Chains A and B, each alone.
Chain A
Amino acid sequence: DIQMTQSPSSLSASVGDRVTITCRASQSIGANLNWYQQKPGKAPKLLIYAASTLQSGVPSRFSGSGSGTDFTLTISSLQPEDFAAYCCQQSYISPWTFGQGTKVEIK
């Protein structure tokens, strides 16, 4: 199975900060990388698919980049509603594996 490694596992940031989360695949996955946001007690929500395509309805402060093995999720200006956990998922080869998640907390 392809292993997905996220860093950091958690971070503290303030409203208005620029936040970057990285995800590394154990082998090349092209652009088959998705990002999800998850709030406590809720289901994950798709933010970005195919590495850089913003899901409909997702604010433009979220962006994704990368290909091959290294990917980045960026929040350009953190808002109060963005404090949540974020995880990546590869959809190149079954099983579609997830990263362990990054928790974004209030500083």
Chain B
Amino acid sequence: QVQLVQSGAEVKKPGASVKVSCKASGYTFAGYYIHWVRQAPGQGLEWMAWISSGDTKYAQKFEGRVTVTRDTSRSTAYMELSRLRSDDTAVYYCARQILRNFDSWGQGTLVTVSS
């Protein structure tokens, strides 16, 4: 079955960077887009970026601070967010796109930004 397994929780200081991984299994990794979505405490879902086999797109809000990459040999996608602020504290999810929806999600990675 399709599975996306994310890396563990992180605690970072303001101004630092964080890199979250998302390992896929149960399907052909190269054939699908991976999206990154975050959810601040008590808030709704916020789309951040997607990566295809050869292209990326970022939400304007995160342009210049977020980088998404993928390693097809490891079936793993990565999301790096730099210049962290306290309001970046959130659960970060990866999700697989199929057709025009997200049919599978990672379990989420809590990133806490605190001095």
| Size category, B interface | 10 to 19
B106's contact among A32, A43, A95, A97, by CB below 8 Å, is which? A43
Number of A residues with CB within 8 Å of any CB on chain B: 22
Q: Is the CB of A98 within 8 A of B46?
A: yes
Mark interface residues in B94-111 (1 if CB within 8 Å of A CB, else 0).
010001111101111000
Given A43-B105, A44-B105, A94-B57, residue A50 in contact with residue B45 (CB < 8 A): no
Find residues 25-78 in chain B having any chain A CB closer than 8 Å to their own CB: 35, 44-47, 57, 59-60
Shortest CB distance B81–A (Å): 16
Residue of A nearest to B4 (CB): A43
Q: Is the CB of A49 within 8 A of B101?
A: yes
Among B47, B59, B101, the one with the most A-chain Cβ atoms within 10 Å of its Cβ is B101
- In the complex, besides A32-B100, A87-B45, A96-B35, 17 extra interface pairs with C-beta distance below 8 angstroms are A44-B102, A45-B105, A46-B101, A49-B103, A50-B101, A55-B103, A89-B45, A89-B101, A89-B102, A91-B100, A91-B101, A94-B57, A95-B47, A95-B59, A96-B47, A97-B47, A98-B47
Query: Mind listing 25 A-B residue pairs with CB under 8 Å?
Result: A32-B100, A34-B100, A34-B101, A34-B102, A43-B105, A43-B107, A43-B108, A44-B45, A45-B105, A46-B102, A49-B100, A49-B101, A49-B103, A50-B100, A55-B103, A87-B44, A89-B101, A89-B102, A94-B57, A95-B47, A95-B59, A96-B35, A98-B47, A100-B44, A101-B45
